Amino acid sequence: MNARKKRPPIANGNVPPQASLPLHTQIRETIRRQVREGELIDETGRLMTEAELGRHFGVSRITIRNAIAPLVNEGMFARSRGRGTFLRSNQPENWVGRLMGFSETIRDAGYKAGAKILQQGMTNRHDPEIRAQLQERAVWQLKRVRLADETPIAIEHAFYPPDIGLELEKRDLISIIMYRVFEDELGFSIKDAKQMIGAELADTNSAKLLSVKIGSPLLSIERVTFSEDGRALELLRAVYLPNYFRLSISLTRHS
């Protein structure tokens, strides 16, 4: 991570003039952008203090506080009492054992999560592995292009048991945070997931959807998520642009 760099204050054009947006909103989006470029933070990921940011942008600490609060709520930053405000992640996905969906990981990294729906609804045209994992002859499917700040970075094709799918169909599938809906609205207690990670090359369809060349490398995953009672709740197959994702895996060796 780059060391802290400073730019001129707002008065010198650091924040593009957007009269329709409140000042703290303009500053928030500028902080988001500059931090992604390695600015405003030191080598440990610590953000400038409110006083420093106030001087940097030429505004009051209240304005800075109002700008930063949504970034903390989104998960881009974490506050540590007595230490400061720290960047939580500089990549959308960091596999360290915590089960998170796309929207959670993208928001955790400070991006705006979005989606374009390609397919949804009941189907019995699926392969034997899906049938075996979900133990259903017909399943409910949801295929989406996933977005980070309006940029397509993934294609996710998920399959669910019919009763779950029909519940999901009632919800906003663009902004849904899937695992939170499972736990908070549908009453499922998620225990764990089994995930396989691989690589593949973009075919004609995925290349078009992700705006890359045919044959470009993609990160692929297949994940089955289970409830506490062992029921398979979701089977997800997805491909991601590798430059947006990194893997961090803890390994141990037993004698």
Domains of the chain: residue spans and CATH: 10-87 (1.10.10.10), 93-247 (3.40.1410.10)
DSSP letter, residue 112: P
pLDDT recorded at residue 14: 53
Instruction: Name the H helices within 58-187.
Output: 61-74, 102-108, 128-134, 162-168, 178-180
Q: Let me know: does 156 contact 102? Beta carbons within 8 Å.
A: yes
Q: Give the residues of the chain that fall short of pLDDT 50.
A: 1-13, 17, 19, 90-97
pLDDT recorded at residue 108: 62
pLDDT recorded at residue 251: 62
pLDDT recorded at residue 161: 94
Distance CA 113, CA 74 (A): 11
pLDDT recorded at residue 113: 81
Residue in the block written with tokens 């998960």:
75
Q: Global pTM?
A: 0.60
